[in-house]
Amino acid sequence: MCVSDTLQKMHVHIYRQCISVIITVNYSCIVARKQSLFQHMLSTLPKCIEQAKAYSTVVTVGSLHAVKLLYVKVVKDCRSQFEHWKKVENDYESLQERLRTLPDKLSYDIMVPFGPLAFMPGKLVHTNELTVLLGDNWFAKCSAKQADALVEHRKKHVKNTLDDLQKVMKNFQNRADFTDDLEKLTGDTGDFVDIREEVINEEEVTKAKHRLAHKANSKPKQEYLLDLEEDKEKKEGDEEGTTGVLSEEELWARLDELERQEELQDERYRLDSTDTNGEDTTSSSEEEKEADGGSDVQVNGHQKENGWVPTSITSQMNGTNGSHPEDEEEEDCDEEAGNGLPTIYFSHTAEFKKVRINTGKNTTLKFSERNEQKAQAKRKKKSGKSNGHSPHESYKITSPADIYRVFVDLVNGEPIPRKSILKSRSRENSVCSDTSESSTADFEERRAAFGRSWSHDDATHSDTSDGITEEESPTGTSPHTNGCFEAFTSTVIEKDPLPCSIPHLTIAPPALPTIPERKLEEVGPEAPQEPPKWMSKFKATRLHQK
Partner 1 sequence: MAEAIQKKLQAELEKYQQLQKDVSKSMSARQKLEAQLTENNIVKEELALLDIQNTVYKLIGPVLVKQDLDEAKATVSKRLEYINGEIQRYETLLKEMERKSEQHREVLSSLQQEYQRAQGQAVGKV
Task: Determine if 235 is a binding residue for partner 1 (CB under 8 A).
Answer: yes
Q: Report the residue from 62, 135, 190, 241 that binds partner 1 according to the rule CB under 8 A.
A: 135
From 84-92, 143-151, 274-282, 473-481, span contacting partner 1 (CB under 8 A): 143-151
Beta carbon nearer to partner 1, 141 or 260: 141
Question: If binding is defined by CB under 8 A, does position 154 make contact with partner 1?
Answer: yes
Binding status of residue 115 toward partner 1 by CB under 8 A: no
Q: Does 14 bind partner 1 (CB under 8 A)?
A: yes
Q: Is 28 in the site for partner 1 (CB under 8 A)?
A: no
* Contacting range for partner 1; rule: CB under 8 A; set: 186-194, 234-242, 397-405, 413-421: 234-242
Minimum distance, C-beta of residue 80 to partner 1, in the bound complex (Å): 18
Q: How far is the CB of 29 from partner 1 (least distance, A)?
A: 11
Q: Which stretch binds partner 1 (CB under 8 A): 42-50, 57-65, 286-294, 531-539?
A: 42-50
Binding of residue 234 to partner 1 (CB under 8 A): yes
Least distance CB 87 / partner 1 (angstroms): 19
CB 195 within 8 A of CB 346: yes
Contact 444, 468 (CB under 8 A): no
**Binding residue for partner 1, selected from 98, 157, 260, 456, defined by CB under 8 A:** 157
Nearer to partner 1, 161 or 464 (CB): 161
Task: From 530, 480, 506, 496, select the one nearest 419 (Cα to Cα).
Answer: 496
CB nearer partner 1, residue 14 or residue 208? 14
- Please give the C-alpha separations between residue 206 and each of 211, 212, 342, 444, in angstroms, as whole numbers: 12, 14, 27, 25
Mark the segment that binds partner 1 (CB under 8 A) among 203-211, 232-240, 303-311, 330-338.
232-240
Nearest to 366 by CA among 385, 350, 386, 387: 350
Does 160 contact partner 1 by CB under 8 A? no
Query: For helices 64-101 and 144-186, what crossing angle results, to 10°?
Result: 160
Is residue 145 helix, strand or coil? helix
> Can residue 131 be called a binding residue for partner 1 (CB under 8 A)?
yes
Measure Cα distances from 59 to 202, 219, 228, 254 in Å: 44, 20, 10, 20
Do 388 and 413 touch, CB atoms closer than 8 A? no
User: Under the criterion CB under 8 A, does residue 40 sit at the interface with partner 1?
Assistant: yes
Under the binding rule (CB under 8 A), the answer on residue 126 touching partner 1 is: no
- d(Cα 324, Cα 488) in Å, to the nearest integer? 10
- H/E stretch holding 194 reads strand 194-197
Task: State whether the Cα torsion 346-349-350-353 is positive or negative.
Answer: negative
Nearer to partner 1, 140 or 422 (CB): 140
By CB under 8 A, is residue 44 in contact with partner 1?
Answer: yes
Report if residue 3 touches partner 1, rule: CB under 8 A: yes
| Residue 101 Cβ vs partner 1, minimum distance, rounded to whole Å | 22
Q: Are 352 and 469 in contact (CB under 8 A)?
A: yes
Amino acid at 40: H
Among 94, 137, 282, 295, the residue binding partner 1 under the rule CB under 8 A is 137
Q: Which of residues 23, 110, 140, 271 is near partner 1 by CB under 8 A? A: 140
Instruction: Examine residue 88 and tell whether it contacts partner 1 (CB under 8 A).
Output: no
Distance of alpha carbon 262 from alpha carbon 406, whole angstroms: 33
Give the interface segment with partner 1, choosing from 141-149, 181-189, 419-427, 532-540 (CB under 8 A). Answer: 141-149
What residues contact 196, with CB distance under 8 A and at least 6 apart? 214, 262, 266, 333, 338, 343, 344, 345, 346
Give the nearer residue to partner 1 in terms of CB position, either 17 or 265: 17
Nearer to partner 1, 47 or 184 (CB): 47
Rule CB under 8 A: say whether 134 interacts with partner 1: yes
E strands, 91-167, are: 108-114, 118-124, 130-135, 138-142
Whose CA is closest to 121, among 111, 136, 131? Answer: 111
Residue 47, interface with partner 1 (CB under 8 A)? yes
- Does 17 participate in binding partner 1 (rule CB under 8 A)? yes
| Kind of pairing between the strands at 343-346 and 194-197 | parallel
Q: Which of 33, 32, 70 is nearest to 51 (CA)?
A: 70
Verify binding: residue 1, partner 1, rule CB under 8 A.
yes
**DSSP-assigned letters across all residues of 248-307:** HHHHHHHHHHHHHHHHHHHHHHHHHHHHHHHHHHH---GGGGGG--HHHHHHHHHHHHHH
- Whichever of 43 and 453 has its CB closer to partner 1, that residue is 43
Quick one: which of 26, 37, 39, 341 contacts partner 1 (CB under 8 A)? 39
Find the binding residues for partner 1 in span 262-301 (CB under 8 A). none
| Residues of this chain that bind partner 1 (CB under 8 A) | 1, 3-4, 6-7, 10, 13-14, 17-18, 21, 39-40, 42-44, 46-47, 131, 134-142, 146, 149-150, 153-154, 157, 234-235, 238-239
